[in-house]
């Protein structure tokens, strides 16, 4: 029996009606999917870690003036957020070639891009979230010209902030995905950052070893995904650290320490 109304269930999160109008509760699951949900699995404890990491990032983004939906964390797996009208676009920011751009354009993974790239994908599972141009977004009315300007400005600010935040803990931010939504005030709307920022939607490589500390461990069957997510949270100071600081992430050593 459900004690509150479920609004939406996605691959990694569930949205419930919030305690006040205009709010939602965002619940983080341990479920992991890849390749348009063709691959399914579980990353133990992922929901708890992503809830904490996303809280940390969104709170800090709020401090530097990037408006977002986060209100407060409620418990281990849930946070209170503002309800938005989701813009059906995934905004992908890339600093280094990896993943789909490497496949699409034949650019070796790990090549630094000449400058930061923003790409847009239309959010549609049945179509496999196809890459679209800004022209498509405007033509089909998914977002207006001014909204796209705001989205691109915020995406670059988030990238600058995240690059610095991760560099400080010896992690290279390769790329990441953002989602935005509209909030309405009478007849006027503005765009704010929504969804989550966590190792589910970022590529994070250890600066010294190149070790992947993100969902690619699951996508590419590399193993050690639980440890990788924990390592990101630990370096951000969000987990209690029993093993002392480690400058370089050594996955096999880390597994041994944890008895795996």
Contacts with ligand 5GP by CB under 6 A lie at: 90, 92, 99-101, 129, 175-177, 200-203, 215
Nearer residue to ligand 5GP within complex by CB, 70 or 218: 218
Nearer residue to ligand 5GP within complex by CB, 58 or 176: 176
Structure tokens at 165: 């935040």
Least gap, CB of 80 to ligand 5GP (angstroms): 21
Least gap, CB of 179 to ligand 5GP (angstroms): 9
Least gap, CB of 237 to ligand 5GP (angstroms): 23
Nearer residue to ligand 5GP within complex by CB, 53 or 245: 53
Nearer residue to ligand 5GP within complex by CB, 123 or 255: 123
Q: Find the residue with minimal CB distance to ligand 5GP.
A: 99
Q: Are 96 and 111 in contact (CB under 8 A)?
A: yes
Q: How far is the C-alpha of 201 from the C-alpha of 133, rounded, in Å? A: 21
Least gap, CB of 33 to ligand 5GP (angstroms): 8
Q: How far is the C-alpha of 134 from the C-alpha of 122, rounded, in Å? A: 11
Nearer residue to ligand 5GP within complex by CB, 69 or 177: 177
Helix (H, G, I), strand (E, B) or coil at 208: coil
Least gap, CB of 230 to ligand 5GP (angstroms): 18
Least gap, CB of 20 to ligand 5GP (angstroms): 28
Residue that has been written with the tokens 């348009």 in this structure: 36
Q: How far is the C-alpha of 86 from the C-alpha of 69, rounded, in Å? A: 11
For residue 102, the tally of other CB atoms under 10 A from its CB is: 15
Nearer residue to ligand 5GP within complex by CB, 129 or 226: 129
Report which of 236, 160, 173 is spatially closest to residue 201, judged by C-alpha positions. 173
Structure tokens at 171: 């992690």
Q: What are the start-end ranges of the H helices in the chain?
A: 46-63, 99-105, 134-139, 145-167, 216-219, 225-235, 251-257
């Amino acid at each position: 029996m459900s004690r509150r109304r479920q609004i939406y269930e996605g691959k990694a999160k569930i949205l419930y009606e919030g305690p006040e109008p205009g709010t939602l509760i965002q619940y983080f699951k341990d479920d992991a999917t890849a390749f348009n949900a063709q691959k399914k699995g579980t990353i133990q404890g992922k929901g708890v870690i992503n809830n904490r990491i996303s809280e940390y990032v969104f709170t800090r983004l709020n401090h530097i003036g990037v408006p977002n939906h986060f209100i407060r964390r409620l418990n281990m797996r849930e946070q209170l957020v503002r309800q938005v009208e989701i813009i059906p676009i995934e905004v992908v920011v890339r600093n280094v070639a990896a993943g789909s751009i490497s496949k699409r354009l034949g650019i070796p993974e790990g090549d630094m891009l000449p400058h930061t790239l923003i790409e847009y994908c239309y959010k549609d599972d049945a179509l496999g979230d196809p890459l679209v141009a800004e022209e498509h977004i405007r033509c089909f009315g998914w977002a207006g010209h001014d909204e796209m300007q705001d989205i691109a400005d915020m995406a670059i600010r988030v990238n600058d902030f995240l690059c610095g935040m991760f560099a400080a803990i010896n992690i290279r931010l390769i790329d990441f995905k953002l989602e935005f939504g509209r909030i309405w005030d009478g007849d006027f709307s503005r765009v704010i950052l929504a969804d989550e920022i966590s190792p589910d939607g970022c590529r994070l490589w250890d600066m010294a070893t190149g070790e992947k500390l993100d969902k690619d461990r699951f996508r590419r069957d590399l193993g050690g995904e639980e440890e990788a997510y924990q390592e990101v949270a630990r370096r951000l100071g969000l987990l209690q650290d029993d093993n002392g600081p480690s400058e370089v992430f050594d996955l096999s050593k880390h597994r041994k320490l944890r008895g795996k």
